[in-house]
Amino acid sequence: MFNTIFPKIHKEGYKFLAISILATFIVLFFSKIFGLIFILITIWVYYFFRDPERISINDDSYLVSPADGLITNISERSGPEELRLENTTYTRVSVFMNVFNCHVNRVPTAGNVEEIYYKPGKFLNASLDKASEENERNYFKIKTLKNNEEIIIVQIAGLIARRIVCEVEQGQELKQGDRIGMIRFGSRVDIYFKNKKVLAKLGQNVVAGESLLASD
């Protein structure tokens, strides 16, 4: 119960939370009204960087969501040219994270991190389709343990996002639902896959590491 109300926070949030708490005390000294506003901001900062435990299905016949948020796109697309996959067609599912969602990202299935590629870019609204080509982004190519298929995950910075955090290394083996990083302050995560049945629906709210996106 305690961990549900007060989940642990991601290490990226320590600095922001400390600054917010300090600012709150300073403002409270001069104004209770504005101090109350800063208390609410501090609570928001705490919950933005929350990093709750998640329980995955632990079945690699399924892909779980890599992010909390709203499914804004399900379509057939060419793979990312940054990973030399532009001549391969994948199903792409996009999950948009607003500033109230948990922003810790997770791997959809067990596999090995075959390649990581970071590309600087703009900070357009992450819900826009062109954000996948113009915004700052980080690519993961995962080779699944079950059938050696490629799963592509793309972290895409958003309008006010200013840092993509990658927490895994090339060659690392991951279990389904393991943390792979986070994006600060509003963003999107795309997942590319083949030969699977899409279970998720457009407009559905999903939970990273738990909600089922696709199955064999």
pLDDT in tens, 28-74: 888 888 889 989 989 888 888 888 889 999 999 999 999 999 999 99
- Coil, strand or helix at 149: coil
pLDDT number for residue 127: 66
Question: 116 and 165: one domain?
Answer: yes
Question: 37 and 132: one domain?
Answer: no
Question: 40 and 68: one domain?
Answer: no
Please give the tally of structural domains in the chain.
Answer: 2
Catalytic residue among 20, 127, 132, 187: 187
* Residue 162 pLDDT > 70: no
CATH code (residue 88): 2.70.70.10
pLDDT number for residue 46: 86
Question: What's the full length of the chain, in residues?
Answer: 216
pLDDT number for residue 153: 97
132 catalytic residue (yes or no): no
Where residue 187 falls among pLDDT bands split at 50, 70, 90? confident
Sign of CA dihedral 21, 42, 99, 213: positive
Question: 187 and 145: one domain?
Answer: yes
* Residue 186 pLDDT > 70: no
Residue 54 covered by a domain: no
Burial class (CB in 10 A: 0-12, 13-18, 19+), 55: exposed
What is the spatial distance between Cα 3 and Cα 53, in angstroms, rounded to a whole number? 9
What is the spatial distance between Cα 95 and Cα 190, in angstroms, rounded to a whole number? 6
Question: 10 and 94: one domain?
Answer: no
Where residue 136 falls among pLDDT bands split at 50, 70, 90? confident
Place of tokens 């067990």: 110
pLDDT number for residue 120: 86
